[in-house]
Amino acid sequence: MKKTLLLTALLSATALGAQASELKIGLESDPDALDPDKSRTFVGRIVFTSLCDKLVDITPELSIVPQLATAWETSDDGKALTMTLRDGVTFHDGTPFNAEAVKANIERSKTFDESVRKSELSSIDTVEVVDALTVKFNLSASDATLLAQLADRAGMMMAPSALSPDFASNPVCSGPFTLTERVSQDKIVLDKFAGYWNADAILLERVTLVMIPDSTVRLANLQSGDIQIVNQLSATDAAAVEGNARLRFANITGLGYQGLTFNGANGDKSNNPLGQNAKLREAFDLSIDRDAINQVVFNGLFTPASQPFTPASPYYNPDFPVIKRDIEAAKAILAEAGVQTPVKVQVQVPNTPVTLQLMQVIQSMVAEAGFEVELVSKEFATLIADASVGDFQISQQGWSGRVDPDGNIFGFVTTDAGFNDGKYSNAEVDRLLREARTISDPAARAERYKAATAILAVDRPLIYLYHLGWLYGLDAKVQGLTLYPDGMLRLEGVSVTE
């Protein structure tokens, strides 16, 4: 009798089990340390999305919503943020999540010598445990970017019991999945955390992230059914995915961009016509046909850009639409400037196929206006090192994008900021962007960003080319996936049918 029962149970289990329990995702590169305080890679953030919950999260429309914090309140002077924490949450090792844990996490992010989160949390002076489920951040100045930071790695909560410099070798968080195995350069295996506070929303038992750097091979794995999601699908492969009945193509415009940074004041190399003359930069800009780039290189899937913010963003400045190619105007500017053509300029570009293709197209476009571009391709490691010490005239660089507008502009154009490789400096831009950091009213913030964008559109310390799109190839069996502009894969509600 017992046997029959068991058999029936098994049968019904298989009947219900029309859902496969495992999802395999092909990632484009191997993440670095699995420690939210040390992590520096984009793919690392994708892993963390399943592994570590944050205090708050975002919606696809970029509003901040509860995750580990259920409610929050900013004091009238903007100098205190009080958060109410979710009750009954435990970390993977069974230890409870509470205000003490938040305090330990924020303090580690701010003081751990290898932490790269310090600047993101610099506005937090002290963390106060009000009661077990209430925590108060005392700020040195009001900080409009803080919530967005807490929706990313700076807000990821690690188990205080596991905090050590070697956290990465055995990460313990409170996310929907736990780390089962990591074989570097090969795969990361995550298993469902039975004690997850939102366990009902997690339909997968296991998620395997497979590292496959080559986009063609990644696609081949999707076609053969070895993986079910291709992250960072190559734009030129989109048609192949769409043409396959067993696959689906999905994309969403991201928050990041690709652009060209001009060296205006960083060392000797800034002494070049384009570095010194904004009019020539304008001519360069005018000779680029962004629509043609989008068609030739990205099959029309990306969004041409002339600003750091996407047109959908409330901070977008409609007075400065995407620059249309005007080769005659470009030539006229060159003639007026009285420079001898061709104007020679060197562009450093990362030696990846897509960036090289992009720059060769631009090289050919600007040649018509009278610019002779020499491409110097460099490995990424060398490129960024050279850029930061000013060993470049123009550097082709991109940014994966952040939720808060500040993350997409401040570091690149304010005086002496970390990514301001061309050493652009404009007191008015500095003032506007600093103010925007402290104002919480979105409309008032937008005003500052629009004013700064207007100045940058004339000065052109960097020119924006296009906004990245996050492109995915999905097995048609994958159900319930919602895409987010930050490019993260949130697996709540995702299932794989058989």
Partner 1 sequence: MSTVSDAPDAVLDRPAKSRAWAKFRAHRIGMFGAGLVGFFVILAILAPILPIQDPIATDWGAVRQPPSSTYWLGADEIGRDLLSRMIWGAQASLLAGVVSVGIALGLGVPLGIIAGYFGGWTDAVISRCTEALLAMPFLILAIALAAFLGPSLTNAMLAIGIAATPVFIRITRGQVLSVAAEDYVESARAIGLPTHLILRRYILPNVLPPILVQATLTIATAIIAEASLSFLGLGQQPPAPSWGSMLNTAKNFLAQAPLMALWPGIAIFVVVLGFNLLGDGLRDALDPRSD
Partner 2 sequence: MFVFFLRRLLVAVPTLILISIFVFLLQQLLPGDPVLAMAGEDRDLATLAALRERYGLNETLPVQYWVWISAVLQGDFGTSIRSGEPILDLILQKLPVTLQLAAMSLAFAMLIGIPMGIVSAVNKGTKIDLAANVIALSGLSIPNFWLGIMLILLVSVRWQLFPASGYVPPSEDFWQSIRTMLMPSFVLGTGLAAALMRHTRSSMLEVLRQDYVRTARAKGLTERRVVLRHAFRNALTPIVTLTALLFGELVAGAVLTEQIFTIPGFGKLIVDAVFNRDYAVVQGVVLVTAFGFIFMNLLADMAYVLLNPRLRHAR
Contacts with partner 1, residue ranges (CB under 8 A): 214-216, 219, 234, 236-237, 239-240, 292, 295-297, 351-354, 356-357, 359-361, 363-364, 375-379, 382
Residue type, 370: G
Contacts of the segment 349-352: beta carbons below 8 A, 24+ positions apart: 349/375, 349/376, 349/377, 349/378, 349/383, 349/396, 350/377, 350/378, 350/379, 350/380, 350/383, 350/396, 351/377, 351/378, 351/379, 351/380, 352/380
CB of 360 to partner 1, least distance (A): 5
Q: 41 touches which of partner 2, partner 1, none (CB within 5 to 8 A by kind)?
A: partner 2
DSSP 8-state code for residue 247:
E
CB atoms closer than 10 angstroms to residue 385: 12
Output 19 or 377, the one with its CB closest to partner 1. 377
Q: State the minimum distance, in angstroms, from the CB of residue 467 to partner 1.
A: 21
Residue 375, contacted partner among partner 1, partner 2, none, CB below 5-8 A by kind: partner 1
Q: Which is nearer to partner 1, 292 or 444 (CB)?
A: 292
Question: What are the CA-CA distances from residue 364 to residues 292, 293, 359 (Å)?
Answer: 12, 11, 8
Residue 376 interacting partner from partner 2, partner 1, none (CB closer than 5 to 8 Å by kind): partner 1
CA distance linking residue 363 with residue 343, whole number of Å = 12
Choice between 33 and 296, CB closer to partner 2: 33
Distance, CA of 94 to CA of 115 (rounded, Å): 25
Residue 119 interacts, among partner 2, partner 1, none and using kind-specific CB cut-offs from 5 to 8 Å, with: partner 2
* Residues 406, 363: Cα–Cα separation, whole Å: 31
357: how many CB neighbours lie within 10 A of its CB? 15
Q: Measured from the CB of residue 87, what is the shortest distance to partner 2 in angstroms?
A: 33
The CB-of-71 to partner 2 minimum distance in angstroms stands at 29
292 binds, among partner 1, partner 2, none (CB under 5 to 8 A by kind): partner 1
Our CB check for partner 2 shows the closer of 126 and 184 to be: 184
Selection from partner 2, partner 1, none that 210 binds (CB < 5 to 8 A by kind) is partner 2
Nearer to partner 2, 1 or 381 (CB): 381
Sole residue written with tokens 């052109």: 460
Tokens of 155: 């807000």
Q: Which residues bind partner 2 (CB under 8 A)?
A: 30-33, 35, 38, 40-42, 113-119, 166, 168-169, 183-186, 210-214, 216-217, 219-221, 223-224, 226, 379-382, 384-386, 388, 399-400, 411, 418-419
* Cβ–Cβ < 8 Å for 354, 466: no
Report yes or no: 210 and 187 within 8 Å, Cβ to Cβ. yes
**Residue the block writes with tokens 């409009």:** 144
The nearer residue to partner 1, 240 or 483, going by C-beta atoms, is: 240
Smallest distance from the beta carbon of 208 to partner 2, in angstroms? Answer: 11
Least distance in angstroms from the C-beta of 35 to partner 2:
7
Neighbours of 56 (CB within 10 A): 21
- The string over 289-326, giving b where at least 16 C-beta atoms fall within 10 Å of a residue's C-beta and e elsewhere, is bbeebbeebbeebbbbbbbbbbeebebbbeeeeebebb
Q: Which does 384 bind (CB under 5 to 8 A by kind): partner 1, partner 2, none?
A: partner 2
Residue nearer to partner 2 on the CB measure, 155 or 273: 155
Residues 144, 418, 252: CA angle, nearest 5 degrees: 60
The listed partner (partner 2, partner 1, none) that binds 359, CB under 5 to 8 Å by sort, is: partner 1
- Pick between residue 40 and residue 324 the one whose CB is nearest to partner 2: 40
- Residue 419: name its binding partner from partner 2, partner 1, none (Cβ under 5 to 8 Å by kind): partner 2
List the single partner that 320 binds among partner 1, partner 2, none, CB under 5 to 8 Å by kind.
Answer: none
Give me the least distance between CB of 326 and partner 1, in Å please: 18
Residue 402 · residue 255 · CB < 8 Å:
yes
- Cα separation, 414 vs 229, in Å, equals 39
Q: Which is nearer to partner 2, 274 or 387 (CB)?
A: 387
Contact between 337 and 386 (Cβ < 8 Å): no
356 touches, from partner 1, partner 2, none (C-beta below 5 to 8 Å by class): partner 1
Between 45 and 325, whose beta carbon lies closer to partner 2? Answer: 45
Measured between alpha carbons, how far is residue 382 from residues 83, 389, 420, 421 in Å? 43, 11, 17, 14
Least spacing, CB of residue 81 vs partner 1, in Å: 46
Least distance (Å) between residue 498 CB and partner 2: 20
Min dist. Cβ of residue 130 to partner 1 (A): 53
- Judging by DSSP bridges, how do beta strands 134-139 and 80-85 pair with one another? antiparallel
DSSP 54: B
Q: Least distance (Å) from partner 2 to the CB of residue 168?
A: 5
